[in-house]
Structure 1
């Protein structure tokens, strides 16, 4: 069942959307009773000519909420003792504009247009939203039922459609950070959506590789060919169903990294069929269970949806989820040290085939 969307504006003018699994919830009837200051203006983008990349400077984010106690969690439903970001007393899935956004459409005039002849400056136009998967503070994505995963996917698809149509958006990126080891600042189960004003570096590199492959093969889709090769090799495949395959990339950067990809080229979440949306949840929940089973404790991870860009090169995209962890052993983390942080050259401590075998054994 497609979730029922309703919306309100928070007291500072930010949007909040409820995605309800049952009709007539009445959640949009609860007003935000707080008195909040206006949202911050857009961040500043500065161009780095040495690597042809744009860097966001968002100083207001340095004061964002950091690991509050559970009775002051801004993602829990509002109650008689604490008014949170979500005014309703309960919710299924809720999405709202980030109070501390990296990118925003709230542009204010800026007299600075460059810092040097080689470093132009422009507003960080875009959008940042927070996606709350459940009102249960002590839950996790892996504990959700498949029906709730479907609601989350539908909500992300809806937000992708709407945000992609906003002026200046180059790519819509939904993701989840889980675990203090990753750097989360709120324990409540949630993800985020970043709408970038420029194509981010990893996507730019993937587009260059995909364009080169298409040219060399007469129009072949690179990710489709990579997926087909992994399905044939089988050695790195973790699990699959009728519509999705989960596998460890042959050149995985991270100790434990899995891609979940649909069996046909889909550009973004809105392009998934009902059957594909239904089939995603059981497979993903299975993979998350395997992650947590590796070392007998919750696995810190980043879960990142790679979607097609909005503009040039969109036809080369292939929707897939990249799930990875920085944990390389029960008591060891992989830190991005000299080679990774300074040079962007990854050195993986775990052989991908061994990682795949370890994950398969956790069934």
Structure 2
């Protein structure tokens, strides 16, 4: 197995970003990104067996594929600080997922993965459409500290995160994945079991229904660029570097906020340096506004909706925040109506949400 030092061609404000490729003892890949070359020697590692994904089953009434991965029932659940698997490893201590004493930002294959490039063929079930759960699931750890958020990380770390996201987009699309979703779950209400600041990346072997519908809408002529201009300042929250943060009039969550380039782009890999700076700034700014308004670390889901592999140039990238709160101290529950019909009941008008967040 190899332990390679690699350098990307990406520069952030004149600084080269370095990427180290390390293969763990259990065969999983680990990538270390940073403004400095990472040359530390690895410590002891856990080499226990890793499951190779689950299976995909098609829901004929909802017309969607779902992932079934029974082994994920045993994934790490709210460990103590001493057993934090996302922390740097330490001499003489139990190994963590990152077998180094320090790092800037890390991406590794999820040990409790739903998708795997070597996923087995599922056993056939009569009258059921099934498929291998190929693809890949990765964890992206924002840094060695077990505290912080997208705002407190600072602009330099957010720019490093964008460089890592773009590198993973390129890698997964080059490997034939149909859709790549970087995302972050934050807070107990979202079901987070590891509170060390981190996100995840799912590289799908198919285009999920939500993204398929979006791709079809853009190809049919829907223009988010045009609508953003029509909505104007009433739905706007903030602007930076040619990108806008806004609460769309058709938001499904109270205080749902999107970040999008003012002129359509398929994904952040097409952004200019100015746009990357603006995007990085707005990721932190929206997190700050949420925490200030809700008076606590806000529980939210953040997902990056970039173009699927085969989408055309009309696709318009958005980063979408879904808060799980509707007011300070009040949770927004997705109950029977939402779960049964997909029809959301929204307690806060998007224009009022935008006005509230804009004022912070």
TM score, norm. by length of structure 1 = 0.91
Secondary structure of the residue aligned to 2:313 is: helix
Question: How far apart, CA to CA, are the structure 1 residues paired with 2:129 and 2:240?
Answer: 48
How far residue 35 of structure 1 moved from its aligned partner, in angstroms, is 3.6
1:245-267 per-position Cα deviation (integer Å, ceiling 9, x unaligned): 00001011001111111122211
Are residue 116 (structure 1) and residue 117 (structure 2) matched?
A: no
The corresponding residue for 2:210 is 202
The answer to whether the 8 A contact 1:300-1:327 is kept is yes
How far residue 101 of structure 1 moved from its aligned partner, in angstroms, is 0.9
1:312-362 per-position Cα deviation (integer Å, ceiling 9, x unaligned): x33332111101201012221111111100110011011111111111121
CA RMSD for the aligned pairs? 1.5
Poorly superposed stretches of 4+, deviation over 4 Å: none
Structure 1: segments with no counterpart, 5+ residues? 215-220
1:200-220 per-position Cα deviation (integer Å, ceiling 9, x unaligned): 1211221232233x2xxxxxx
Question: How far apart, CA to CA, are the structure 2 residues paired with 1:263 and 1:329?
Answer: 29
Are residue 46 (structure 1) and residue 57 (structure 2) matched?
A: yes
The corresponding residue for 1:171 is 179
Are residue 144 (structure 1) and residue 157 (structure 2) matched?
A: no
1:154-207 per-position Cα deviation (integer Å, ceiling 9, x unaligned): 00000110011113x110000001111111110000000001111112112212
How far residue 66 of structure 1 moved from its aligned partner, in angstroms, is 0.6
How far residue 109 of structure 1 moved from its aligned partner, in angstroms, is 4.3
1:26 pairs with 39, 43, 46, which one? 39
The answer to whether the 8 A contact 2:254-2:348 is kept is yes
Question: How far apart, CA to CA, are the structure 2 residues paired with 1:132 and 1:101?
Answer: 16
Question: How far apart, CA to CA, are the structure 2 residues paired with 1:34 and 1:18?
Answer: 16
The corresponding residue for 1:218 is none
Decide whether aligned partners of structure 1 residues 260 and 17 sit closer, same or farther in structure 2, where only a CA change above 3 A counts: same
Structure 2: segments with no counterpart, 5+ residues? 1-14
Aligned pairs for 1:1-363 (under 5 A) are 1-23=15-37, 25-27=38-40, 29-31=41-43, 33-80=44-91, 81-110=93-122, 112-113=123-124, 115-117=125-127, 119-167=128-176, 169-212=177-220, 214=221, 222-230=223-231, 233-311=232-310, 313-362=311-360
How far residue 297 of structure 1 moved from its aligned partner, in angstroms, is 1.1
1:89-115 per-position Cα deviation (integer Å, ceiling 9, x unaligned): 1111100000011111023344x24x2
Question: How far apart, CA to CA, are the structure 2 residues paired with 1:328 and 1:341?
Answer: 18
Aligned length: 345
Question: How far apart, CA to CA, are the structure 1 residues paired with 2:121 and 2:210?
Answer: 30
